Structure 1
Amino acid sequence: MEAFGEGLADTTLKTLQTHLSSFNAWLSNSARGAWDRVRLDDVRAYLQEISESRSFATLRLRHWALRRLYRWASEQDIANVRIDAVLLPARAPARSPPRVPSVQQMERILAMPDTGTPAGLRDRAVLELLYATGLRADELLRLRIDQVAGALCMRVMGKGAKERLVVYGEHAANWIAQYKSVRHALLSAGGHCTTSTARLFVSDGRYPDYRYSQLRRMVSRYAAAEGLQLTPHSLRHAFATHLYQGRAPLTTIQMLLGHEHLETTTRYVSRQFEDDHALLETHHPRGGQYRRLMRDAGAVQSNERHRLWAVHTQPKSSLCEPSRASRRVSASDLR
């Protein structure tokens, strides 16, 4: 698995293992032989069975897992099965964009954890950091305690083993500092010693590391109290959408999210709170607010481009020096 799973996030690697295990079990149950001796017709039969019993999203994931497996097997001269010759059925209807909480809803969710307890402080720190940075769940769970040692930025290893700079404000840093003071209490409650893990976020359960299942349940619980259905990834969408609503450039949001392509970033931006009439009034030459905006926007945009260019061209050793930022990273910080 390690040979052809290189560069994948832990959660993605587990997904790959799950789908390949299902394929191997199907081969065994149908007496079709070992995976390295299958014929293309066997693969077609498997994917056809999946298409009849599972969702289109699952079918795509199974197809992706098999493509990755047999591409690697071909490179290693183990098997030669042309998975790309197996065409998937017509694409399923596009799903509606994910529901993104409003700024006011996010503020209420952030205030829900009981910060009088170690677990509540951890929840608050996790929620604040997810919303302030747009981190992926796997990136957050893999953070080491030495990565947040006081500076208001950190380097994370993202999807595809790509490193990027993540910045956040003192609001999130304050809750992280409070959580770090009780981190040992959570570990002790679970019977773990302080040095049992180097990860920043820990659990008082069987395992010392805070796990995705725990993170997902926590986010879902607080969101349900607000009448919403959210996942940790929903907060990444909220981060991008609220920056966009604050008129942050899409290219800036792309850089902060760590996307290679701008098209990917546009999928994270929701317009559900946009007022189209106000947008035209502000940005169209015939709008009543257009001239005032043109007078004020030039200098602001120029300063912002210069600041972002300076941050991302500094030597690596100086990138995480303490900043004078005083708020959670939001749209107003990027104006």
Structure 2
Amino acid sequence: MINAIQEFIQYLHNVKKVSHNTEVSYERDLRKMFAWLDQQGIDSAEMVTNTNLNSYMLYLERQNLAASTVSRSVATMRAFFQYQLKENHIKTDPTEGLKPPKVEKKAPEILTVEEVDLLLSQPDTNTPKGVRDKAMLELLYATGIRVSELIHLKMSDVNMRLCYITCQEHDRDRIVPFGNTAKHAVENYVKEARGVLLGAHSEEYLFVNCSGKPISRQGFWKVLKGYVDKAGIVADITPHTLRHSFAIHLLQNGADLKSVQEMLGHSDISTTHMYLNMGIYKMRDVYTKAHPRK
């Protein structure tokens, strides 16, 4: 089944243009599913039945996995077997009628403007590491890009004169502007700190660690967590929180939904629309707490 999985992943990459993270997630889910099916004596896609997949779902649930994890696995199964059907590798779709567990949607954590200011003021800009951290946080909040996009930015992707970055996507480049605060933070990092962190190394990526190598996702997560703790922010903050906050703050200050969609790189505007609804709920919450005649 390895060949079938690889063929499907190539299809996702070349035709569907999904992100690298999505490819990795699908391949991991499929390898896990077929390892379980192999133990049941099933070694090809055409042998798989709806009963097999329902049994596999029950197996996942007995592992005490989160409903969202099981639901994602079901989505992977559907995509894979629908592709197999499309390519005439199977005659019927075994995922038909398969019902994933209900996932309770939790609204993502959003920082207030004051909390963002507090967080972004934490790095010690008297040290090269602090100057770098300040630049990363300012640029992340100024652009709303994903952490994966931040750590893969190259020096050539940043236009300091016109204040925009270029994010490399499968089928096109996405241009995202940033303001003077982020510009000054990045300029300061490039002029004062990047060379110190690089040492004798040469590197095309913009942000590097203390060893002169590109900073990793895990490395950025540790940086963010340290400053969240230092700031005394009790909310459950993840690297994606600044992206959510960027979107909400733009919409609350009058940005149109289409522009926010383009800056975030959402292919479907309904994804961006979630932030509009969240902004309304946030304003309603503030109103209820503050208005004297609520």
**TM-score category, normalised to shorter length:** 0.7 to 0.9
1:176-195 → structure 2 map (5 Å cutoff): 176-181=186-191, 182-188=193-199, 193-195=201-203
Say yes or no: does 1:202 pair with 2:208: yes
Q: Distance in 2 between matches of 1:125 and 1:70?
A: 45
Aligned residue in 2 for 1:136: 146
The residue that corresponds to 1:62 in the other structure is: 73
CA contact (8 A) 1:113 1:120 kept: yes
Q: CA deviation at 1:101?
A: 1.0
**After the TM superposition, which segments of 4 or more aligned residues of structure 1 sit over 6 Å from their partners?**
none
Distance (whole Å) between structure 2 residues aligned to residue 223 and residue 35 of structure 1: 48
| 8 Å contact from structure 2 (residues 198, 210) kept in 1 | yes
Please list every run of 5 or more consecutive structure 2 residues that lacks an aligned counterpart in the other structure: 1-5
Residue equivalent to 2:22: 12
The whole-number CA distance in structure 1 between the counterparts of 2:92 and 2:229 is 46
Distance 1:201 1:117 in 2: 15
Report the counterpart of residue 212 of structure 1 in structure 2.
Answer: 217
Matched, 1:106 2:139: no
Q: How does the TM-score come out when normalised to structure 1?
A: 0.71
> How far did 1:230 drift?
1.0
Letter in 2 for 1:126: M
Which of 209, 223, 237 is residue 228 of structure 2 equivalent to? Answer: 223
How many Å separate the matches in 2 of 1:204 and 1:21?
Answer: 36
1:191-228: CA deviations, max 9, x gaps? Answer: x7214xx22222235x9222222222222222233223
Deviation per CA, 1:141-172: give whole Å up to 9, x if none: 222110114231133234x6453320101211
Q: Tell me what 2:268 maps to.
A: 261
Q: 2:164 aligns with which of 145, 153, 159?
A: 153
1:320-335 correspondence to structure 2 within 5 Å: none
CA 1:17–1:204: 2 relative to 1, 3 Å? farther
Partner Cα separation in structure 2 for residue 89 and residue 58 of structure 1: 10
Aligned to 1:85: 96
Does the alignment pair 1:39 with 2:39? no
Partner letter of residue 87 of structure 1? L
1:102/1:149 CA distance change after superposition, 3 Å: same
Shift in Å, 1:19:
1.8
Structure 1 residue aligned with 2:3: none
Identity of aligned residues (%): 25
1:241 corresponds to: 248
Match of 1:293 in 2: none
Q: Structure 1: 5+ residue runs without aligned partners? A: 281-335
